[in-house]
Amino acid sequence: MHRHTRKVRRLGVALTVLIPLAVATPVASAVSEHPATTTSPADCALPGRTGWTDEGHDTDYNQFQRPIGTKHALMLFVDFPDAQATDSTAGYYDELAPAADWMQKDSYGRVKLDITPVDRWLRMPQESTTYGFDRGITFEEHELYVRQAVQAADPDVDFSQYDMVYIVPTKAAKAIKFSPTYLYDPATAGIVADGKRVKWGVTFGQDMWRWGHKVVNHETSHIFGLPDLYAFTGTDYHRYVHGWDLMGNIAGPAPAHVGWHRWKFGWIDDNQVACLSAGGSRAVHLKAVESPGGTKIAVIRTGETTAYVAESRRAIRGDAKACSTGVLIYKVDSSTQTGYGPIQVVNGNPEATPPSGCLPLDMAAFRPGQSFTDPTTGVRIDVKSSSPLHDDISITKQ
């Protein structure tokens, strides 16, 4: 699990019961088109309500890093008195470095990760078992770990040149198990090196060898303000989105960021968003989120912090292994805490038998002739037709 840490609390909030959103049904007849009240994309942007990582568009870019432009990341390699490295740092860098290319493609070139490795092992002053990773690690323990790594590198590194730090442990350090994100606390003195505060970082663990380079993209997306989409409780940790966004299952078959995240990040523009915030209906020509250009998402706002989103997904680029293609529909609630389902995918094909390597929710994409309805909110989405990179849909709100 990749839960990032925050001072004082461990994100222990009450579980929200997961209620089925709606069902997929064949389109019985064409939906009558009623003119929609004119709405701008801003009318479908949701406010954050959790005070932390969430799906709101009003991200605090003092607390989080703005996900636009070149981000200079320093990669440090650390070992410990009880877990000393005997191998080269090169293999560790090679495992994680492809994250830069992945992020650049996923953002349509709007974010570039410029990763600079310090190609030697830095000895930490404490044994690897003393940092608290086996206990889930508190903010204070995590900040100590980051501080000591920065201090070990400071004589040879000008930290004022970097936006964030990636700290990679030796394979010998089995106690450094998982990969939390470090987000600074502006109310404390924090970590300062070369006259600049170290605000953001990722401390990788042994799970990086399971997840590969996309663990960099997942954790860096926390630095950009995204919540976790996997579940913090229960036994089915991927019941909300499964493999449709790497904020859920990092190793999922379709890990590209959903269109809502791309809009939140500024990777797609307002004019690429079709918004329906009042009653009526409209036709939308969606272009696959994996491919640049075109209208990327259709948003139907249903409340102060809630909306349904429809987007086109294809088995190309970052989603080359997608288990299903077509229109992905999901519910967004920007008041829901990270780890408790702020995004929930609607399964358009609950009776489908998933092929090897896929799970039921990976089959969720709607195809022409299918529709989604939610009687409670008066929302209906009809999939009309598709082509290699597009889906034509009708969205309606009663």
Tens-digit pLDDT profile for residues 220-231: 999 999 999 999
Q: What is the pLDDT of residue 262?
A: 98
Write the CB contacts of 266 (distance below 8 Å, at least 6 apart in sequence).
66, 67, 68, 110
Count CA atoms within 13 Å of residue 106 on its CB side. 26
Q: What is the pLDDT of residue 39?
A: 76
Task: Please give the share of the chain, as a percent, with pLDDT higher than 70.
Answer: 90
Q: Both 219 and 165 in a single domain?
A: yes
This prediction has a pTM of 0.90
Q: Both 94 and 202 in a single domain?
A: yes
Q: Both 208 and 285 in a single domain?
A: no
Total number of domains in the chain:
2
16 in any annotated domain: no
* Span of 38-47, 70-79, 191-200, 293-302 with lowest mean pLDDT: 38-47
Q: Both 190 and 270 in a single domain?
A: no
**Pick from 160, 188, 223: which residue ends a domain?**
223
184 in any annotated domain: yes
Q: What is the pLDDT of residue 35?
A: 43
Q: Both 253 and 391 in a single domain?
A: yes
Average pLDDT for 65-75: 98
Residue 299 belongs to what domain range? 23-58+239-397
18 in any annotated domain: no
138 in any annotated domain: yes
pLDDT above 90 for 148: yes
Q: Both 209 and 253 in a single domain?
A: no
pLDDT above 80 for 1: no
12 in any annotated domain: no
Q: Both 74 and 36 in a single domain?
A: no
Instruction: Give me the residue label for tokens 């981000």.
Output: 71
Q: Both 28 and 89 in a single domain?
A: no
Q: Both 355 and 274 in a single domain?
A: yes
- Pair 157, 120: CB distance under 8 Å: no
Instruction: Give me the residue label for tokens 């859920």.
Output: 248
**Pick from 223, 252, 274: which residue ends a domain?**
223
Q: Both 133 and 191 in a single domain?
A: yes
Q: Both 128 and 208 in a single domain?
A: yes
* Span of 30-34, 125-129, 192-196, 347-351 with lowest mean pLDDT: 30-34
9 in any annotated domain: no
Alpha carbons 278 and 397: distance in angstroms, whole number: 7
Mean pLDDT, all residues of the chain: 91
pLDDT band of 135, cuts 50, 70, 90 = confident
- Structure tokens of 153? 């590198």
pLDDT above 90 for 136: no
295 in any annotated domain: yes
Q: What is the pLDDT of residue 114?
A: 98
Q: What is the pLDDT of residue 30?
A: 34
331 in any annotated domain: yes
